[in-house]
A and B are shown apart, each in its own frame.
Chain A
Amino acid sequence: DAKTTQPNSMESNEEEPVHLPCNHSTISGTDYIHWYRQLPSQGPEYVIHGLTSNVNNRMASLAIAEDRKSSTLILHRATLRDAAVYYCILRQYGGSQGNLIFGKGTKLSVKP
């Protein structure tokens, strides 16, 4: 699986939007972009994934660059509960094995 690059940490104010960037310049055509987050003292939690088009769900939005070499996870209104480590992961579909390869992620702090 290709590597991703994320900032080590970011800060946000409560109720403001948050844009978490991820660079994946070596992405291949069959790689999906996944985001997971890990709240303190919990296991990781699936957030969203996409291939080429922007995606929205109840938790967040995923904006994917036209060349697919970068993407941005958007939390529309950050809450204190969104303070977590956010992982951007590339997953290649088509094979029989789909383990997740985690980097260090971005630690998001949310200030009241």
Chain B
Amino acid sequence: ETGVTQSPTHLIKTRGQQVTLRCSSQSGHNTVSWYQQALGQGPQFIFQYYREEENGRGNFPPRFSGLQFPNYSSELNVNALELDDSALYLCASSGLRGGRDEQYFGPGTRLTVT
């Protein structure tokens, strides 16, 4: 059984640019959630996808958007990057709609915006 994987591991971008982060869910899981974790803080929920549709969203602006593909992998896109977007971006997959069961997290992508 393959766990949750994320790419890239690290990324450096300039303010105003756009970035795409990728996540492959654990085998058999149809729900993917994305979280942002600033240094020293707990992860904050961005949004969740269930069977290719958005299934809930946290308090993040529209420049944070996502996609889920038929194989349940997912992308997080962030437009017009700001310095405060520097953080660890985590994705988590689960087997029940809404992530009501255990969520399995990937190792994260560390994004630095300069």
**A interface with B by C-beta (< 8 Å):** 41-46, 49, 85, 87, 91, 93, 95-105
Contacts and interface: CB of A to CB of B under 8 A. Distances in A.
A52 B100 CA distance: 17
Contacts of B105: 42-45
A47 B76 CA distance: 26
Interface in B44-85: 44-45, 48, 55-56, 58
Contact of A100 (B41, B96, B99): B99
Given A43-B108, A44-B43, A87-B42, A100 B103 contact: yes
A97 B97 CA distance: 7
A103 B33 contact: no
A93 B94 CA distance: 14
A100 B58 CA distance: 11
Interface in B1-55: 4, 33, 35, 40-45, 48, 55
Contacts of B97: 96
Interface in B82-114: 90, 92, 94, 96-108
Contacts of B44: 102
A104 to B, nearest CB: 6
Given A102-B42, A102-B43, A104-B41, A96 B104 contact: no
Contact of A105 (B42, B92, B107): B42
